[in-house]
Amino acid sequence: MLCGPIKVLVVEHSPFVRSTVGRELNAQDGITVVGEAKDAFEARDLIIQYRPDVIILDTALPRVDGLTFLAKLMEHYPVPVIVCADPATDHRQAALDAIDQGATEVVVKPPVNDRAALQRLAQELILKVRAAAVALRRPPPIPVSATAEPVSLRSVGLNPARYVVAIGASTGGTDALRHLLSRVPSDFPPVVIVQHMPEGFTGLFANRLNDSSPIEVREAKDGDLLTPGLALLARGGIQMTVRGRVGSCRIACGSREEVNRHCPSVDVLFHSVAKHIGKSAIGILLTGMGADGAEGLLAMHNAGAVTIGQNQGSCVVYGMPKVAADLGAVQITTAPADVPKRVVEALLARSAAGTNTRS
């Protein structure tokens, strides 16, 4: 638990971005920018002097690149890090590498000469700094129980085409999703996912998830058909819903308007799943700051779906699933890697009861 204002260090090679972000953050109640560094060497000295609570890190630093600095940082001073990335493809890849190395969040820098966009970036960073400040400094370990082999649905008499799995995640969700999707059987029901992530990153992130999962994972497109063994990740910057009924359900990409400060929003997806899939759905809400997805998971619960929330001990930020649990929306609480097993158990229990309705 932090005492006093959140101490922030800004590590950014551009003087204008550095000063703009620092000024806006410093103007906020409860946030103090303790230093601004143009490279890793200045950052190291400021870390020793001020012991910041959150670091905003540019991946394209001079002399020592941001990824190399981050690796050393996580080894010697593990602290929540928000990565500020350029929109170019190679920098987006570096930002995702940074997430793999322990960074908490990623944002995209606009062109330096776009003052209005830089102001919007600073406002976004204010929210992410507050979220990062309550994040765990070290990711929780994978539970031992997750080492069991995933159970094929068809081998236990379940038809995966009769269900749809909807997942929402935010801060810490990239790692949680990787653990979850690496444990699913190849005949897992169709999966739709919202992970809060900037536009331009979700396709690359989907490819990374695909590399570690027995099922196909890719970025969703309007009109995509949901089929067993396929996971579709909402594209950054556009709302995603489902339409149709289980067995013939398709993706619908909608507006760019933010809901709960997010686009895509977990609530938008979950409410559509509650409406169209109802009792044949499984809703899963993972780690994240705020409340996005909590009301939607409650709607799924009320429609008869199986609902799962990530447990506090495995969350980087126990925010979204806690709000859902407080609303009474969560039936099952578990760690991400155990989710596939718990899904199969819940569906078997319903099958044994001879009903697909909520018990």
Catalytic positions are: 170, 196, 292
Closest CA to 58 of 11, 15, 96: 11
Q: What are the start-end ranges of the H helices in 55-110?
A: 66-76, 89-100
User: Could you tell me the CA-to-CA distances from 333 to 214, 312, 359 in Å, in that order?
Assistant: 24, 9, 16
3-state secondary structure (DSSP) of residue 274: helix
3-state secondary structure (DSSP) of residue 280: helix
- Residue length, the chain? 359
Residue whose token pair is 């155990």? 338
The token pair at 39 is: 């490279």
Q: What is the rounded CA–CA span in Å between residue 333 and residue 338?
A: 10
- The beta-strand segments (E) located in the chain are 6-11, 31-37, 54-58, 81-85, 105-108, 164-169, 191-195, 216-219, 230-233, 240-243, 250-253, 281-285, 306-310, 332-334
User: Could you tell me the CA-to-CA distances from 152 to 93, 186, 188, 334 in Å, in that order?
Assistant: 33, 7, 7, 20
Residue whose token pair is 């005492």? 3
